[in-house]
Amino acid sequence: MLERNTTPGWRHEREEASLSDVYRTVRTSSSGSTFRRIAAFAGPGYMVAVGYMDPGNWATSLAGGSKFGYALLTVALLSNLMAIVLQSLCARLAIASGRDLAQACRDAFPKYVSVPLWAFAEIAIIATDIAEVIGTAIGLNLLFGIPLELGVLITALDVFLILYLQKVGFRWVEAFVITLLGVIAVCFAIQIFMADPEWGAVIRGFFPTTEIVRNPEMLYIALGILGATVMPHNLYLHSGIVQTRDYGHSVPEKREALKFATIDSTVALCFALLINASILILAAAAFHAHGKTDVVELGEASSLLAPLLGLAIAPTLFGIALLCCGLNSTVTATLAGQIVMEGFLRIRLQPWMRRLITRGIAIIPAAFVTIWYGDQGTAELLILTQVVLSLQLSFAVFPLVMFTADKTKMGELVSPRWLSGIAYVIAIAIATLNMKLLFDFFQSLT
């Protein structure tokens, strides 16, 4: 679908809509009850929430919970609050300008800036896919005994699932994702009940401590949790899939769309926080409390759950939830890859060809690294991918905050000053923590 957008403040006109084959295909209505209108916008937030509970998040949360108990729950909470602010800005950018974040970067910056930003975005998606491929393969191994190497290759088939679901309607993609999220929630609810955590310690874990910054090892895991929670590819994804809604073009219609899209993402991310916290709480209650402070491998965690919790079903529930997380994450990462490629490079291909290419860009290096590492060392690799994501995050966050604070680009939907102020504080905090991580890393080499 070609559509020209002449919003002032941008260097170029936006000629093609984001995800053009599903652009504005989900109908909304200005009439009817408020609940029905909210329901019409519900969906993109849950697809974004998938990225906040992917297998990479599992690895960092398991490592943090087993080693430090409940102490890093505060990082999960702060990361989620950051995510709520940043994802609301993604919806604002998309609805106000008609651009996703990749298109906005290409339109606003010269090539010597936009090309490196595209490269950083691709690196982030590759890191995301490595985590998701590993997680899905481990889930298949735990449930069906499929070798890790074969499981990695099986994950490549999810591109055909996306093609089929989008062919019958984008709502089916959302329904698939939300259904798997429900399965994940049930699995963790049962495991938390069996683990019987110390709830007083859980509550104290949500309060911050300076040890996180003073302890390099804890900071490394904390940044892994941050990178696994506030993920760069989610910023591109949300700004693209929000535009699947046919919300109209007038300012009042856009304001209503922004309100409902923000409600959608906020509620979904609160749900994601429950899952993330559950992973960390489970690790703290099942492993740290029993002196198992070095559990980092997903497979090892699964095998330990049965004897520690006393029920044979625990590893099965763990494997089902992990497989659902992996499937969901590969679906959303593939869509994010398409948005990044089309937005930055303006490559126009048939939908099936676009998805094969974007999936291939990510899964080929992911499969190579996973097969190379084999069954050993996957946890370290998973945590490393999340730290890489954290280091890439600033290259997506700063442009997003800059665009949404610029009235010439956003018009009447420009971010209020208080919101822009909070967003800049978040962006600077992320950049500062990353610089501290790099400083500690280079100091350790000397």
pLDDT tens figures, 271-281: 888 888 888 89
User: Which pLDDT band, with edges at 50, 70 and 90, does 3 fall under?
Assistant: very low
Number of structural domains in the chain: 1
Amino acid (1-letter code) at residue 369? V
d(CA 434, CA 397): 13
CATH number reported for the structural domain that contains residue 345 in this entry: 1.10.4160.10
Question: How is residue 152 written in tokens?
Answer: 């990695």
The neighbouring-strand residues paired with 14 are: 5
Residue 415 CB contacts under 8 Å (≥ 6 apart), including other chains: 89, 92, 404, 405, 423
Q: Is 134 part of a structural domain of the chain?
A: yes
d(CA 418, CA 85): 12
Most confident stretch, 190-194, 377-381, 404-408: 404-408
Which domain range does residue 80 map to? 32-405
Q: What is the pTM of this model?
A: 0.86
- The yes-or-no verdict on residue 238 having pLDDT over 90 is yes
Q: How much of the chain exceeds pLDDT 70, in percent?
A: 83
Q: For residues 89-108, give the mean pLDDT.
A: 93
pLDDT top residue among 59 and 431: 431
Q: For residues 393-418, give the mean pLDDT.
A: 93
Residue 431 CB contacts under 8 Å (≥ 6 apart), including other chains: 394, 398
Place of tokens 């999220």: 181
Poorest-pLDDT segment among 184-198, 234-248, 253-267, 287-301: 287-301
pLDDT tens figures, 381-404: 666 776 777 778 889 999 999 999
CB hemisphere CA count around 62 (13 angstroms): 26
Rg (CA), the chain: 21
d(CA 361, CA 129): 10
Q: Is 22 part of a structural domain of the chain?
A: no
DSSP 8-state code for residue 244: G
- The yes-or-no verdict on residue 235 having pLDDT over 70 is yes
Most confident stretch, 231-235, 248-252, 253-257: 253-257
* Number of other residues whose CB lies within 10 A of the CB of residue 421: 13
| CA-based nearest residue to 123, from 357, 340, 331 | 340
User: Which pLDDT band, with edges at 50, 70 and 90, does 293 fall under?
Assistant: confident
pLDDT at 1: 43
Q: Beta 14-16 vs 2-5: how paired, if at all?
A: antiparallel
Q: Is 15 part of a structural domain of the chain?
A: no
Poorest-pLDDT segment among 166-170, 297-301, 330-334: 297-301
Question: How is residue 183 written in tokens?
Answer: 């399965």
pLDDT at 375: 59
Q: Is 422 part of a structural domain of the chain?
A: no
Q: Is 436 part of a structural domain of the chain?
A: no
Most confident stretch, 137-141, 154-158, 206-210, 403-407: 403-407
d(CA 254, CA 96): 7
- The yes-or-no verdict on residue 322 having pLDDT over 80 is yes
Average of per-residue pLDDT values in the chain: 82
d(CA 153, CA 22): 28
- The yes-or-no verdict on residue 7 having pLDDT over 60 is no
Task: Give the torsion through C-alpha atoms of 218, 223, 224, 227, to 10 deg.
Answer: 170
Most confident stretch, 145-154, 228-237, 411-420: 411-420
Coil, strand or helix at 30: coil
User: Which pLDDT band, with edges at 50, 70 and 90, does 405 fall under?
Assistant: very high
Residue 100 CB contacts under 8 Å (≥ 6 apart), including other chains: 18, 93, 94, 236, 239, 240, 243, 339, 343
pLDDT tens figures, 30-86: 667 788 888 889 999 999 988 777 776 777 788 888 888 898 899 889 888 999 999
pLDDT top residue among 366 and 421: 421
Q: Is 442 part of a structural domain of the chain?
A: no
C-alpha distances in Å from residue 225, one per residue of 73, 75, 101, 137, 280: 10, 7, 23, 21, 10
- The yes-or-no verdict on residue 360 having pLDDT over 80 is no
pLDDT at 233: 85
User: Which pLDDT band, with edges at 50, 70 and 90, does 347 fall under?
Assistant: confident
pLDDT at 240: 93
- The yes-or-no verdict on residue 6 having pLDDT over 60 is no
pLDDT tens figures, 183-228: 988 988 888 888 888 889 899 999 888 888 788 888 878 877 776 5
List, in sequence order, the alpha helices (H) in 53-100: 55-68, 73-97
pLDDT top residue among 438 and 138: 138
pLDDT top residue among 16 and 351: 16
d(CA 259, CA 42): 12
| CA-based nearest residue to 136, from 270, 332, 295, 285 | 332
Q: Is 185 part of a structural domain of the chain?
A: yes
Q: Is 415 part of a structural domain of the chain?
A: no
pLDDT at 386: 66
